[in-house]
Amino acid sequence: MPSANYDAIVLGAGAAGLMCAAIAGQRGRRVLLVDHADEAGKKIVISGGGRCNFTNIHTAPDRYLSANPHFAKSALGRYTAADFIGMVERHGIRWHEKTLGQLFCDGSARQIVAMLLGECELGRVELALSSPIGEVGHDGNRFTVALPGRIATAPRLVIATGGPSIPKMGATGFAYDLARRFGLKVVEPRPALVPLTLGGEEALFRTLSGVAAEVVASAGKSRFREAALFTHRGLSGPAILQISSYWRPREPIAIDFTPDTDADWLVRTKRAQPRTTLRRALAATLPDRLAEALSERLALTTELANTPDRKLAEAALQLSAWRFTPNGSEGYAKAEVTAGGISTADLSSQTLEARRVPGLHAIGEAVDVTGWLGGYNFQWAWASGWAAAQTL
């Protein structure tokens, strides 16, 4: 079987792999970038509703989940949102801030893929698409990767094959299997940024499918003020996706449906408008169907004047911390990312190199670093890819 030698082989031509290969190539390394898909950056293409939320200007390490919350600091600090914006602008890609520091292309996510492929070309990266990865070996000095019809070898190997979310797009748990074969630990992976499902009594809320409202969703100490959406299976929308990354099975989440009120607001409303109902009071800020469903569940459907203050205070409290206990999530099929992954304890935060396997690196979503919704995950992919490339 013919064999070819490289300085580095990058497995996975997604966000992190493309960045890593391009920068290493531009640093003069001979790089092979391999992917089993027939197209590079497929998740980039579908991201951000086709416009790619490519970074967030508020990127900070505390917006990432990891067993080691300090791990992401080094890479995020050395390759920042401003660095990526610089690249985007050099390629003449127009962008805008949508909300909460989230930057999107004005045109299409395909521009970001074209930009990264252009950067790879500049670095003379050899791109091998539609190339299933066979046996991966290591003799202590060089890694060997069996590809269709040939063997590639290099002293450095980068695992950039992402996590298993959205398997129908070719996502796999390959990164974890390979890491384990080299003795690296894997923090139990789980779907994140994923809709949550409701059952039992709470399944009644599914009749609100399609209704959205701005809420504060919380789980433990984590809180997000964004839109929540009722679906035919349970709960979704940005606030829920965010909180899903912190949620653990069988635990409740709390939803504040009245985030701009205080504990006395209903009693005050009763004094000012005794003939109004809870439904009408809620409908001032919430969609009418939701206002109706909440008042019915609280069994407060008559005029406020007929309800004792104590009951109104209790209702206000319940509306500000409505407990849902999801019976599950929509799983990897719908999860935007995978939390958990290759343990940061086994990697250098500077070079993303395995401590006990010199020359082996892991970057992007494959690693146990998971960002909030809003461009944070791509920024981690760019930053970790860039950081690893500095030592290839």
- Positions touching ligand FDA (CB under 6 A) are 12-17, 35-37, 42-43, 46-48, 52-53, 133, 160-162, 165-166, 170-172, 174, 336-337, 364-366, 375-378, 381
Considering the complex, what minimum distance in angstroms separates the CB of residue 308 from ligand FDA?
Answer: 49
Residue 64 φ/ψ, nearest 5 degrees: -130, 145
Nearer to ligand FDA, 245 or 269 (CB): 245
Q: Which of 388, 391, 385, 374 is closest to 64 using CA atoms?
A: 374
Considering the complex, what minimum distance in angstroms separates the CB of residue 139 from ligand FDA?
Answer: 22
Cα–Cα distance, 54 to 56 (Å, whole number)? 7
CB 64 within 8 A of CB 369: yes
User: 360-362 and 156-159 as β-strands: parallel, antiparallel, unpaired?
Assistant: parallel
Residue that is written with structure tokens 């790619």 in the block: 52
User: 102-105 and 53-56 as β-strands: parallel, antiparallel, unpaired?
Assistant: antiparallel
Considering the complex, what minimum distance in angstroms separates the CB of residue 191 from ligand FDA?
Answer: 11
- DSSP label of 255: E
Q: Which of 244, 240, 242 is closest to 228 using CA atoms?
A: 240
Nearer to ligand FDA, 133 or 228 (CB): 133
Nearer to ligand FDA, 162 or 359 (CB): 162
Q: Cβ neighbours of residue 300 under 8 Å, at least 6 residues apart?
A: 277, 278, 307, 311, 312, 315
Cα–Cα distance, 117 to 42 (Å, whole number)? 13
In this structure, which amino acid lies at residue 314? E
The token pair that represents 118 in the structure block = 């252009």
CB 51 within 8 A of CB 109: yes
Considering the complex, what minimum distance in angstroms separates the CB of residue 24 from ligand FDA?
Answer: 15
Nearer to ligand FDA, 43 or 361 (CB): 43
| Strands of 212-219's sheet in order across | 322-324, 253-256, 212-219, 222-230, 234-236, 196-197, 328-329
Considering the complex, what minimum distance in angstroms separates the CB of residue 184 from ligand FDA?
Answer: 16
Considering the complex, what minimum distance in angstroms separates the CB of residue 300 from ligand FDA?
Answer: 40
Nearer to ligand FDA, 316 or 342 (CB): 342
Considering the complex, what minimum distance in angstroms separates the CB of residue 76 from ligand FDA?
Answer: 13
Nearer to ligand FDA, 194 or 290 (CB): 194
Considering the complex, what minimum distance in angstroms separates the CB of residue 154 from ligand FDA?
Answer: 16
Q: Which residue is nearest to ligand FDA (CB)?
A: 14
